[in-house]
Structure 1
């Protein structure tokens, strides 16, 4: 009987943590940096609040100004937490796609997964402007999943090839972007304005309700991505080796593609199109913990969260009081980084 790697035993999950002792310390330091940046971000705005007062408010201690709890807990903290959650989702989605395609230049936006989520969400905003907030992540997930399945079917030829997935995805992304533009062109002005602001990629005005709509997706698919990290390691070695080790490659690839689409869809639905986080976070994670996905998955998730929180913070302080959407910041930084990776990989 062939051994199936789909059977996950509880003691297998932290395997890389035992083999790579630097992973826990890296995660601890990265978490401390994230907390420090989040405190600074929460205190920054039109009404600056010192970091010590932010900490006092968060732990429930008396503050120097009675307005601090309202400003922090109602206006700024949910926005920062949403930014972190969106970054986590994008970091995981990009890590999975790079592992599946065995291509370090792939991310959800490049192969069309983000485009599918954007099309579904824009269609909901433009055609059904009065739908409840919780419907947006669902529609974006359906859009991302539908596009992922469509790309997978078009790339199928006696099996799924990573290079075909990429090429088909790039073409599908272009078509879907055109359809999204068409929807915006013929939509009502109020809905179109909302859609355009949303497409820029921003966590402006995000509330606890937005965070509550994002958390179920993270609660389900983040653990699944960690559990399936070992399978992604094996797939990254090549289909022939994976089959030789007893893995049901196509079935496992489908599950991982579903997880990636869910993460990308939830992120796009919550904050719009935040570009290239799914490209940068896995690469920065590899520089910290190496290519083993059991350690990389969580590292890239935290790195993605840090990138989006930093982008939102910079967007508020660079040209204050004008706010730059965090999607613009990540695109501005990510585009040169993408070119750097492209040149570096061509030289290899």
Structure 2
């Protein structure tokens, strides 16, 4: 187990005292940021859906027409002030979280604060409870605090490596987002419009939320500035700070509470606007080369707040300038900020190398098993697989008996049961084949990346396939099955090529691959949201169902591409099982034994992309299967891929099939998408896995 990499710019200790010669540079930085903010604000006020322009607003200074005044007060000023408050809140929150965790990629997004706050607000809306801004903000605070606490606990108190924090945060955010999406699907009428808001929208009808929450943001920001000196000491290290008289635990707890409060206030006002909390502090710290004083927290946090406003309002200005005023209503501002943050995260991943506790062979903790035991495990998995197939055919909105299935196979059932079973068997087959494909893809990805926490979704492949499929569903809804599979495959291959190409700098690095894949995944999600809300903002059910992973309405031709991909990939992966064993060890051993490393990696990851693309085209986006199935297989039969591959494929197929059956049965005739069930099942396992590796790291 390698030691964590030295802290990046986010953890650099601040200079002890500001030399007078540098004060002018600090003032210059603030002046430049303020000037940029004023310019963006002026442009922002002139944009909108009405014909009121800059000249009309200028006439208000001399008593202009009432129409311009009404537009300014009712629409543009609330939107501007909301962007101002949200930018300040997220800029301060991101700077505080990065400093207290000493992690340059910590933010309200990567710590799942936004996801927890979002779930709390959507839950109240689903049950028709309308709360004022302050009580709603309180609920958001509780949800965000619970999520952040879990993530920081799993990542060793927030002081672990960057990759570990990203994985813990993404898993927690995925689980919370799954619950949120389930609520949006089950309570579609009472939560209409919240899909777009869930990606961060500045649309406001009045100033009520701003007037109630702006004082909270202001007080929390001032308290963080007052704690700036303590954060300067904390940046020197826990031991040094303790020697200097700082209560480290109390300081860290106070800062985290204030950061979560700011994030919750921002989510309450405008929804979860992505990556502002990550980007603003990073941009400010990049000025450290010319203005070293930005590393002092009493300079850093106010400047990060201003930059946060520039990012939020600048994204809003760019969105409406390119797509028109109506786009500012239909398309969430958070889509633009997330795309910006994804690019920034890719740049950071290529710039910093992380060798944290996730850099280990995926079979490092696997037990040694005898051949008889392995044969027994495979036989049991096959029996469970068969049982899942049978249960899938029996259960659903209409329950049938095993005898009915036998009669249906013989063509002797009546019209009612024939209709039910004719519609059910493609769904069961799709779930089994997609689960097997995702498990096989996850096994190869973990071996190639030597990262036990990697899976196709976290490497951006799923996001790329989702973009291709949702684009075709939106712009060519009458397209056939082959076209849908082709679009998903093209998106997956493009995303795979992008991630692989960007991660190959100075050799393929496991942590860099995961971080860049996470960025591409987030960017892909933002693009999917943009496609949905810009084309049909009031019909989000189709996209939600697809993004949740559902077998609803599947037909035999839609299942065929997954079967073909498995028939191609299974023999190839089985033939290179020895190479996978060697790739999972290190880079040197395969080369010494004559393995062409880059070609083997490319083939394995290419097959993973093919399998994931066809699975997504058949059942939508299903997460965690490619993570859980390989891990469970290695725990059962050891780390050799000769044994892992068949067990992982059977477990993956069984998991998705049971999740689909459960989703079709528990609230029939309504249905829970299989992807949401697998996320809710897979998250506890992932949490346990992180906790186990955390305990192992502490023991060493």
Superposed pair shares fold, TM > 0.5: yes
Secondary structure of 1:324's counterpart equals coil
CA gap of 1:79–1:190, structure 2 versus 1, over 3 A, is farther
Q: Note the C-alpha offset of 1:56.
A: 4.4
| Equivalent position of 2:528 in the other structure | 180
Contact 1:126 1:191 in 2 (8 A): no
| Equivalent position of 2:452 in the other structure | 104
CA RMSD of aligned residues (A): 2.0
Q: Note the C-alpha offset of 1:20.
A: 3.2
Contact 1:98 1:107 in 2 (8 A): yes
**TM-score, normalising length: structure 1:** 0.89
Q: Does 1:308 align with 2:656?
A: yes
Aligned residue among 87, 103, 121 for 2:435: 87
CA gap of 1:166–1:293, structure 2 versus 1, over 3 A, is same
The CA deviation string for residues 114-152 of structure 1, in whole angstroms up to 9 with x for no partner, is: 111111111111122222111112221221111111111
The CA deviation string for residues 284-342 of structure 1, in whole angstroms up to 9 with x for no partner, is: 11122111112111211111100000001111221222211111101111122211111
The CA deviation string for residues 45-103 of structure 1, in whole angstroms up to 9 with x for no partner, is: 23321123324433x2756x56434432x111111011100000110111111111111
Distance 2:415 2:476 in 1: 40
Distance 2:609 2:574 in 1: 15
Q: Note the C-alpha offset of 1:154.
A: 0.8
The CA deviation string for residues 236-269 of structure 1, in whole angstroms up to 9 with x for no partner, is: 0111111111110011000001001111111111
Unpaired runs of 5+ residues, structure 2, are 1-369
Distance 1:71 1:324 in 2: 18
Equivalent pairs counted in the alignment come to 328
| Equivalent position of 1:51 in the other structure | 402
Contact 1:120 1:139 in 2 (8 A): yes
Q: Note the C-alpha offset of 1:193.
A: 3.9
Distance 1:98 1:55 in 2: 40
| Equivalent position of 1:128 in the other structure | 476
Written as runs of structure 1 = structure 2, the 5 A alignment for 1:164-179 is: 164-179=512-527
Distance 1:109 1:228 in 2: 23
Q: Does 1:231 align with 2:568?
A: no
Q: Does 1:258 align with 2:609?
A: no
CA gap of 1:70–1:126, structure 2 versus 1, over 3 A, is closer
Secondary structure of 2:396's counterpart equals coil
The CA deviation string for residues 3-38 of structure 1, in whole angstroms up to 9 with x for no partner, is: xxxxxxxxxxxxxxxx83433332222112111221
Contact 1:43 1:49 in 2 (8 A): yes
CA gap of 1:191–1:253, structure 2 versus 1, over 3 A, is farther
**TM-score, normalising length: structure 2:** 0.45
Distance 1:232 1:275 in 2: 23
Distance 2:412 2:475 in 1: 47
| Equivalent position of 2:375 in the other structure | 24
Secondary structure of 1:104's counterpart equals coil
Secondary structure of 2:458's counterpart equals coil
Secondary structure of 2:489's counterpart equals helix
Distance 1:155 1:116 in 2: 16
CA gap of 1:134–1:33, structure 2 versus 1, over 3 A, is same
The CA deviation string for residues 149-195 of structure 1, in whole angstroms up to 9 with x for no partner, is: 11111111232121221121112211221111111121135875423
Distance 1:323 1:36 in 2: 21
| Equivalent position of 2:389 in the other structure | 38
Distance 1:194 1:175 in 2: 20
Unpaired runs of 5+ residues, structure 1, are 1-18
Distance 1:322 1:176 in 2: 29
Distance 2:376 2:604 in 1: 27
Distance 1:310 1:55 in 2: 21
| Equivalent position of 2:488 in the other structure | 140
Larger radius of gyration: 2
Greater RCO between the two (CA within 8 Å, min separation 6)? 1
Contact 2:562 2:611 in 1 (8 A): no
| Equivalent position of 2:420 in the other structure | 71
